[in-house]
Amino acid sequence: MGTELTAATLTQLSYLVAAALFILGLKRMSSPVTAVSGVRWAGLGMLLATLVTLAFMHATPVNLTLVVAAIAIGGSLAWISGKRVAMTDMPQMIALYNGMGGGAAAAIAAVELYGGNETSVTHVAIAAIGGFIGSVSFSGSLIAFAKLQGLITKSVRFGGQKLVNLAVLLATLVTGVMIVAGLHSGPGMVSAFFALALLLGIAMTLPIGGADMPVVISLYNALTGLAVGFEGFVLDNAAMIIAGTVVGAAGTLLTQLMAKAMNRSLGNVLFSNFGETAGPAGAGVTGTQKAIEVSDAGVMLAFSQKVIVVPGYGMAVAQAQHKVWELCQLLIDRGVKVRFAIHPVAGRMPGHMNVLLAEAGVPYELIADLDEINAEFETADVALIIGANDVVNPDARTNRQSPIYGMPILNADRAKNVIVIKRGQGQGFSGIDNALFVLDQTRMLYGDAQSAVGHLIQAVKAAG
């Protein structure tokens, strides 16, 4: 009895320490300056929780060899993929890992529900709720991964889609209630419950456009956290409860921030076919794009007093962040004030541009978000847009026919001059024409971002 009590006490104390490390790590991840140490603190907490669980799991019948083998295989695959993945592929990797977390929570629920050893209705209900949320997160995240990876190139939409999704949701809830009530809790009913939940995740995500992926990723991150928290109650595991709750809460707040940045309510994101356009993609955009020679763009930048750089997914695709910082260092050495403007939904995941700039070594104090930087565009000699589109489209303020009308944007159009680095004259990822590109003060520098910025560096050096 004394030994068991000591083991239980040590386990709970260790879980408490692990939870504190999770929270500390998450807090430090909120800033690029401390993000790396935050990941390490959170990883240390996970290591502690895992080791303690393995050390004191003798009371539970389990094949320790299989557990260790699974951890070793999973850890090795994560290490290798993490080392090899390109920064441009990071969003789909995050989506995939979100899905794995949700799938793990659903697997725990499946073991409980198939086993039929539940002790109470509450226990069954919590397991079912966690299994439902985890399954939706798992299958939805896989579809998000496929979209980001280019395996699914079109959003699947059809008439009556909302009704079909609602029917799948209701069928899932009905089977879940029947399982909890014990009316039909056999393997067939449990299998139908999980199949419907997985189908719902697919059906929810298929109609969503690629431009809305930042919201989708943060939403499924929140769902995964909630699922883990629920299954923590099922297993009576304090570390899972706290970690899942923290991740779920953080993901929910991030989803709300992403939705606000795109001028959508959370309810609209969840239930209103987000990703569909509200009107003709190019409605109200007239005029022609005007090209600029790289030598002229270099002179314009070299003799500016203030330059605001707006990075976007085009910079990520070209892996041009290091060249961009090299250009900015050159301008700073000439006495030019340089700042970076980051929109909350720039790129394909929350914080995408911040990660790229941090990788290139850009000092954190030079990076500002939308609210901090917007008032400064009017005093900027040049706004340098590198692969960004919707987040600088002035139609969001003025054109009620635009699908992005009402979305907060970076006020790049209010700079004295605008230089846009873009691969061609086509529309951006969302398929919306950009009114910024045809304004009088805007000039287009066509080409791959890395190549174009490299030429700009030479042009600035040649400006004298």
Task: List the catalytic residues.
Answer: 390
Q: Pairing relation of β-strands 306-311 and 417-422?
A: unpaired
Kindly list the distances between the CA atom of residue 52 and the CA atoms of 47, 69, 109, 335, 338, in Å, as whole numbers in the listed order: 9, 17, 22, 56, 49
